[in-house]
Every structure is written in structure tokens, then in C-alpha cells.
Amino acid sequence: MTDTATLPDTPRAYVRVTGSLSRRMIVIASAWIMVLLAGGGFLLDRVLTSAISTSFDDQIGFLLNTMLVTAEIGPEGEVRFSRELADQRFLEPNSGLYYQVSGAGYETFPSRSLWDRTLRVTGSKADVEPRLYNSTEFPGEKLRVIERDVRLPGSPVRWRFQVAASRAPLDEQILVLRRILVRSFVLLGFGLIVMVALQTLYGLRPLRTVRLQIQRMRAGKSTRVEGDMPAEIAPMVEELNGLIAHNERQAEEARRHAGNLAHALKTPLTVIMNAAAAGQADLSATVIREARTMRRQVDHHLARARAVGRRGSAHSRAAVWPSVEAVERAVARLYPNARIDVDGAKDLHAHIERQDLDEILGNLVENAAKYGGGSVFVTVRAEAGFVELMVEDDGAGIPEADRIRIFDRGVRLDSGKPGTGLGLAIVRDVAEIYEGTVSLEESEDLGGLLVRLRLPLAT
């Protein structure tokens, strides 16, 4: 891993830190885990506690049924058992398991384990089903009681059979169960949170790698973000590398334009200096001629530099038809004798800044009006992912042999009319900056020149 100690500090002047992404993910996941575990633990506790309580009730219910099966009426109308109950706890005093049979007009028949105590009997009930309830009638001992009122054969008395068991074993089992559940769920929650933390730190590791690579780029140790990246990070890295390459191209173009401009201005300045040093009689004419040359060069490079700078906007988008209409109105005022007609799609947008579109359209339409025979026709249409603008005139046209040379800076085929010879050169350069093209053809309808400009279509 890259040693971060050798890298410059990350600038934070333009970044407002709103917290750790890792901490957010861990906190949210931990909170959700705790909610799920608490809910699941509560439900599991209810289910298991109910199962243990039901099992406990079934046991004392079985003892009650055994009493009912073995019960019979004695010679004096009392209740007795045909055989002793199998559970020895009924014979041990205060054992925690008791029974009692009671009926109106007869002495209570208790188990030996009750010793000198009796179970509370609350009013006669004709319950067909056994009744279960908790009782605190014995000090220091909570009871679980099941009772049922029945009439035994041969007896007019309604007898109440009761079985009571201490809740201590049941409560102890529930306490042990809850202790195990709490420990298990705490351990499970801790393990899940640790797993989430590790997963988050490992999952966000590529972002830290990207940050370190960007620091290396800023320190001049690399030029791209390199290395294998996950599928979710790779597109971002590709876009970042594309942005870096785009900025490098812009910087290189700026350096090249500066060098070209310096080279282009060097020759006229040398001519002026030599003429001045030699004291030539036509110095003023020489200065004017060379100044015009320098102005053409400056205008050309400024136009190209503006287009390159505006191209950096990812949202470059211009409506084509309003630009065509604006140029048509402007050129019509300059050349009132020229007839300019426009036709085509009115809802197209091109990937270009409006200023640049106006400039290149202005050059094309003005050239058609200036050098044509008086008729100019502009057509707008969509063609294979491009906006295609065709500017036709009825002039003499340009010979095929000169159609490439005319794009060079300063080249003019008709020197009898004013101009700098930079119009088509600027159109070509600006179009290429926006990944478009411009070509010269012969107009089949008007017979003059057809300029076909293609710019990327903005959907």
C-alpha cells in the first residue's frame, strides 16, 4: 500500500466534511441489527416461555386426571383413592407439589405434603374444563394451581379436585432460558456488528485506493488512476481518467495555440523591426500590412481558444433553429440585396455553445451572401446522430482542387472583396473542437457552393 506520509496533505478548503461514510453505514446497520435482534429475541422468548409453561401445566394436569381416575366414594360418602398416587412428592411435607379434595359437608382430603396447610377454595363452580391460575396464598411460595369440580358416581356432592405445584422450577427454567437468549443474542449482535464493520471497511477500501492514487497524481508521481476496481467503482474511475485526459488535451491545446500565435506574430514583428531599422520609406505601409496579418492571427487563435474553453462544459447545448434565424436576420441587414431562405427541422439541439454556433453559422451565411449571386438557402436536418446544416448559394462556387486549400488561414480566392481569409478556417477549427466536420461541395439546386456542417446531435 502507498505510504501516505510521503504524499501532500489533502486540500480541504473547498470541501465541507459532513461525517464518515463508513460510520454512517456501520451505525445504520448496527441499529437495524439491534432492532431485528430485539424483536426476534422478544418473539422467541414468548414462544419458548409459552412452551415451557404449557409443558408444566400439562404435568400438573396429568396428575389431576390421575386423581379423577383413581377417586371413589368410601362407605361414609367420603372420597378416597383406589391406589396411591405415584409421585412421591405428595408424601413429603412442603415438597412443592400438593393436592386437595374438598366437598360440602365433608372434611377436606389433602395430600400429606400440605402438612398443616390447606388450599384456598373459592365458591363452587360447575366447570367442565380444568381451570388454571397462579396463586400466592402460601407465604414465600408462588403456586400454579389446576382445579376442577366433578360429581363422582354414587355421590350427590360436587367435589373439587385441586393440584398445586410450586412455580419455582418453572420460573427457574424461564430465567435460565432468558439468560441464555440474552447472552446468545448479545454475542450474535456483536458478531454481526463486527462483520458489518469489516464488510464496510473492506467494501470502501477501493475508494481509499482511488484517493491515494489521486494524491499521487497531484504529487506528480502518476498520470492516471490505475489498477483493478470493482464494477461499482470502475465507471467512476473511467470518468475521472477521461476528465483528466480531457483537461490534459485542453492544456496541450492551449500550449500549442500559444506557441502557434507566438510563431505567427514573430515574422510580422521581425519585418516591422527590420523596416524600421533600415529606415524604409514605406514603413507606414509595411506596419499597416503586417499589423493586419497579426490581427488575423490574433482573431483566429482567440476564436479557437474561446471554443476550446467553452467545450469543457459537459452541458454544451444549443437550439439550432433560433441561431439560424438570428444569423439570417443579421446577414440580411448587412446584405439587403441577398435573398436568404431557411428550411428544415425546428426542434433540433446540437452539442455546442450558442456563441460558437452563431459564429460559425454567421461566417458560412455571410460568405454565401458575399460571394454568391444573391440567393442563399440554409437547410437544417438530423442525420445519423448529427445535426446537419447545409448552406448553399448560387455563386460561381469553388473548384474542387481549391476546396481543401481554402480552409487554410488567410487564403482567399476572391481578393476583390474585403475580408481576412479566416472565416472557413475558424469554422473548421471550431467544428472539430466539438467533434464535428465541415466539407465543401457543389450545390445541385443553386449551382454554386454547398457547405455541409455536421455537429453532434444533443438528445
Beta bridge partners of 383: 386
Average pLDDT score over residue span 367-389: 90
Average pLDDT score over residue span 331-355: 90
DSSP assignment, residue 447?
S
Per DSSP, the three-state class of 346 is: coil
Instruction: Spell out the CATH class of 315-456.
Output: alpha beta
Average pLDDT score over residue span 123-152: 85
| pLDDT tens-digit series, residues 308-340 | 555 544 457 889 999 999 999 988 888 888 899
DSSP string, 303-337: HHHHHHHHHT-TT--EEHHHHHHHHHHHHHHH-TT
What per-residue confidence (pLDDT) applies to 270? 78
How would residue 435 be classed by pLDDT, with cut points 50, 70 and 90?
Answer: confident
What per-residue confidence (pLDDT) applies to 419? 40
Q: Report how far apart, in Å, the C-alpha atoms of 335 and of each of 331, 373, 416, 421 are.
A: 6, 12, 17, 19
How would residue 427 be classed by pLDDT, with cut points 50, 70 and 90?
Answer: confident
User: Which residue type does 302 have?
Assistant: L
Which residue from 5, 22, 30, 23 is spatially nearest to 205, judged by alpha carbons? 22
What per-residue confidence (pLDDT) applies to 7? 46
Q: Are 455 and 352 in contact (CB under 8 A)?
A: yes
| pLDDT tens-digit series, residues 398-421 | 877 777 767 664 444 444 444 433
Look over the chain and give the mean of its residue pLDDT values, rounded to a whole number: 82
Q: Report how far apart, in Å, the C-alpha atoms of 193 and of each of 26, 34, 41, 110 are.
A: 7, 9, 17, 57
